[in-house]
C-alpha cells in the first residue's frame, strides 16, 4: 500500500497518471468544477506543468502555511474545513465532486468522512521502497466493484510494471446506515 518515497511516486506510470487527471477534471456540465484536496507535501511533490487543471479548484491543507500556494485556489487547516468550503455558498452551486489526492493523513480523513462513498485505488503490482502509505480501510464497508463505468478492470503494464485500477464502493444497508 506504498504511495510515495522521498516526496515522489516510486514508479513512472504515465497512463495511470493520465487516468487520475482525466477523472479529477471530468464534470457532467460545462461551468461545473471539481475540488481536489491535497496535503501540503503531496501538493508540493507535483510538477508545475500539471497546473492549471481544467474544471478543478485546488484546496491545500496545512496548519503551517499562511498563504495559498502558487497554482492552488484555497488553503484550509483540515479536511472538514475543505469539505465545508466546497459545500457552502458560493462554491456549493459550482462544485460537483470532491476528490482527495493525498497524502496519508488526508486520505485517512477522507475515508472517515460520512460522504466518502467511492475509493479509486490503483493496485501497483510490485515491490517498491516507500516511506508514505495509503491508510488501511474497512473492506467490509468498502467493497471492490468488479465492473465500474469508465474503469478498466484488466491488468495493465507500463514500463515493466503491472497495475490494476480498482474502485471500492461504500455498501449501504436498507436503513441508510453503513455496514459495521
Catalytic residues: 9, 16
Cell of 175: 436503513
C-alpha 43/C-alpha 46 separation (Å) is 6
C-alpha 75/C-alpha 13 separation (Å) is 29
> Could you please report the per-residue DSSP string of 151-173?
B--S-EEETTEEEEEEEEEE-B-
- 8-state DSSP, 148: B
Strand partners, 5: 8
Amino acid at each position: 500500500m506504498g504511495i510515495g518515497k522521498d516526496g515522489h511516486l516510486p514508479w513512472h506510470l504515465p497512463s495511470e497518471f493520465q487516468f487520475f487527471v482525466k477523472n479529477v477534471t471530468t464534470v457532467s456540465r460545462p461551468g461545473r468544477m471539481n475540488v481536489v484536496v491535497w496535503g501540503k507535501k503531496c501538493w508540493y511533490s507535483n510538477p508545475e506543468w500539471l497546473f492549471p487543471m481544467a474544471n478543478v479548484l485546488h484546496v491545500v491543507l496545512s496548519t503551517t502555511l499562511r498563504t495559498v500556494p502558487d497554482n492552488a485556489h484555497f488553503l484550509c487547516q483540515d479536511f472538514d474545513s475543505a469539505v465545508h468550503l466546497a459545500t457552502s455558498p458560493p462554491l456549493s452551486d459550482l462544485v460537483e465532486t470532491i476528490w482527495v489526492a493525498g497524502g496519508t493523513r488526508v486520505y485517512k480523513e477522507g475515508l472517515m468522512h460520512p460522504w466518502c462513498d467511492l475509493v479509486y485505488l490503483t493496485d501497483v503490482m510490485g515491490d517498491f521502497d516507500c516511506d508514505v502509505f495509503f491508510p488501511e480501510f474497512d473492506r467490509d464497508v468498502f467493497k471492490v466493484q468488479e465492473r465500474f463505468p469508465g474503469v478498466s478492470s484488466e491488468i495493465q503494464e507500463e514500463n515493466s510494471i503491472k497495475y490494476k485500477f480498482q474502485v471500492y464502493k461504500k455498501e449501504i444497508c436498507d436503513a441508510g446506515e453503513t455496514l459495521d
